[in-house]
Chain A
Amino acid sequence: MSPENSVGLVTPQCVRFDTPLTLKSGAVLPGFELAYETYGTLNASHSNAVLVCHALAGSHHVAGFYGDDPENIGWWDNLVGPGKPLDTNRFFVIGVNNLGGCYGSTGPLSIRPETGKRYGADFPLVTVEDWVAAQARLADHLGIETWAAVLGGSLGGMQALEWSLQFPDRIRHAMVIASAPKLSAQNIAFNEVARQAIISDPDFHGGYYAEHGVLPTRGLRLARMVGHITYLSDSQMAEKFGRQLRHGEHKFSYDVDFEIESYLRYQGNKFAAFFDANTYLMMTKALDYFDPAYAYAGHLPSALARAKARFFVASFSTDWRFAPSRSREIVFALLDNRLRVVYAEIDCDAGHDSFLLDDQHYHALLRAYLGNIAI
């Protein structure tokens, strides 16, 4: 990447909100902090703000790099920057770590004011709706009445959709990528395996591992390995790893034989080294609970009737976690309400993770759509 199309050096910021937030579960957070980053400049009419929502393991570090850690490049850096599809010469882009996260926003790792100890397992379950409510406080803080666009992939796409429902007048464009209007039984099943891996780790201690001075690393590692299988496509795994052997021969042991095993262990270890297990549990639960149609007897078109935004919906041909048919559910529910929507089904080999890649056609679609957003 050439330096001229990177947002360059970025500094995370943090804002504290002291008005209590009542969560969907009924629990009340007396106050909370959100970690966020911004790229580009808010224009005089405040009409060019774009919120980028992160998925399961993402953060507020969407683009650029840190001065003290230049290798730490934002997770959607290929999309966001001057001259990039989400052009920071034009848009004021915000990345935020969601409530309950482990990258600086208030979450299970935070110190609970009442006890002086970490929340740990006592941190309330937060939902996609709660995230959006918290993000709205950030928008208020930054002087953003209406987002030009809210976009995200996967769980991030659910937040974009939720924005259009919870604050129909505060979002002009919802960009919902590689997402779904709710999880399928199979999706929930994978999440439950991931949760059980964590919960059954002897070092989990019911979520109070911090007080025991340990981390449920083995469980978290397993959870991530399961997750990673669902992010990749069968064909891509076959192409990338096939049955390649780590040591050139069968070892007749339970150590790594095949390259795919090595890859999954590597991904699991890398993730378990920095991600918080309670946050992971909570994020998967937020995914499971998300279902805007639930309050409408399962009828998605009724649930989306209050949306006013224009929509960009995209899916990827080899994504089996949130297959194209799941995106079409959203599209047809929007059609039933005569809402404006474009829908692209992108031919890409990389499964669910495709939304993070810079596939030429995919990025051309994003560039074209974002380029037409009036500011």
Chain B
Amino acid sequence: MTEQERRVKAEQRERFDFAVIANWLQPGEHVLDLGCGDGRLLRYLDETRDVTGYGVEIDPESVLACIRNGVDVIQMNIESGLLGFEDHSFDRAIISQALQTMHTTERILTEMLRVAAEAVVSFPNFAYRSNRAAIAAGHMPVSEDLPYDWFDTPNVRFFTIVDFEDLCGRLGIQIRERLAFDEAGREVADDPNLNGSLAFYRLGRKS
């Protein structure tokens, strides 16, 4: 694959991820995007769902990219929580493929559902078939959704669909909807922990 093909493919994939999230949003929602990177998701959601809201990002270059993209970004470290954000101040808190890069998983999930009525979480499933095969063959997996070598990955938490759902249970978080997709972007119904490369969740507080 050439660099150009790779980029086009990555962009298609990204658009697909964005569309999954956008489908869960009502028009005009007020959202918080944690680990928002260069702000492309927020921009997409603004264009397609007319959302308002803010991105949160720690990386200086990403903050600069957000500003260039006209996205409202707050530079802060969310590992210690969302201090300063008021309870129930957003319709939705989103963390798109960034939860695995943060240490304080429990606190972040709890905080998302403190500041927002509903949370959207997406992450790469470590138990996906090809990842299991890589481990069985003696190697850390490198895949479409885990595209980093073990020595330069930004990911610090490696977990599976089953693990994540266990944690939600322990934290009293209600799973309202789950979608899983394989590497080709096909929705997976059968055994998502084995067949799903990327997982999307709609989460709420148990009432």
Contacts and interface: CB of A to CB of B under 8 A. Distances in A.
B74 A341 contact: yes
B72 interface: yes
A361 B60 contact: yes
Contacts, number: 54
A237 interface: no
Interface stretch (B81-89, B135-143, B164-172, B179-187): B81-89
Interface string A344-368: 1111000000000000010011001
Interface in B42-61: 52, 54, 60
Given A336-B86, A336-B89, A338-B30, A343 B75 contact: yes
Contacts of A336: 86, 89
B84 A328 contact: yes
A345 B84 CA distance: 15
B64 A364 contact: yes
B66 interface: yes
A342 B73 contact: yes
A284 B63 CA distance: 34
Contacts of A347: 60
A343 B54 CA distance: 10
A345 B59 CA distance: 10
Nearest to B32: A335
Contacts of A332: 84-86
B85 A342 contact: no
B63 A344 contact: yes
B74 to A, nearest CB: 5
| Interface-centre pick from B66, B70, B75, B89 (highest chain A CB count, 10 A) | B75
A335 B70 CA distance: 17
A39 to B, nearest CB: 23
A368 B54 CA distance: 17
Interface residues of A, number: 21
A243 interface: no
| Interface-centre pick from B30, B67, B72, B76 (highest chain A CB count, 10 A) | B67
Nearest to A311: B72
Contacts of B30: 338
Contact of B75 (A340, A345, A369, A372): A345
Contacts of B73: 342-343
A368 B67 contact: yes
B68 interface: yes
B72 A342 contact: yes
A341 B71 CA distance: 9
| Interface-centre pick from B63, B66, B74 (highest chain A CB count, 10 A) | B74
Contact of A342 (B52, B66, B76, B89): B66
B85 A335 contact: yes
A331 interface: yes
A336 B74 CA distance: 13
Nearest to A331: B74
A365 B71 CA distance: 13
Contact of B67 (A335, A338, A345, A369): A369
Given A332-B84, A336-B89, A368-B67, A343 B74 contact: yes
Contacts of A342: 63, 66-67, 71-74
A344 B65 CA distance: 12
A345 B72 CA distance: 14
A372 B72 contact: no
B181 to A, nearest CB: 33
A236 to B, nearest CB: 19
Interface string B88-108: 010000000000000000000
A341 to B, nearest CB: 6
B86 A372 contact: no
A311 B53 CA distance: 14
Contacts of B84: 328, 331-332, 335
A328 B85 CA distance: 11
Contacts of A365: 63-64, 67
B66 A335 contact: no
Contacts of A331: 74, 84
Given A328-B76, A341-B74, 18 more contacts: A332-B86, A335-B54, A335-B85, A336-B89, A338-B30, A340-B72, A342-B63, A342-B66, A342-B73, A343-B74, A343-B75, A343-B76, A344-B63, A344-B75, A364-B64, A368-B67, A371-B68, A372-B70
In the A-B complex, list the 7 residue pairs whose CB atoms are closest, starting with the nearest: A332-B84, A368-B67, A368-B68, A343-B74, A345-B75, A344-B75, A369-B67
Interface of B: 30, 52, 54, 60, 63-64, 66-68, 70-76, 84-86, 89
Interface of A: 328, 331-332, 335-336, 338, 340-347, 361, 364-365, 368-369, 371-372
13 contacts: A328-B76, A335-B74, A335-B86, A336-B89, A340-B72, A342-B72, A343-B74, A343-B76, A344-B67, A345-B75, A361-B64, A365-B63, A371-B68
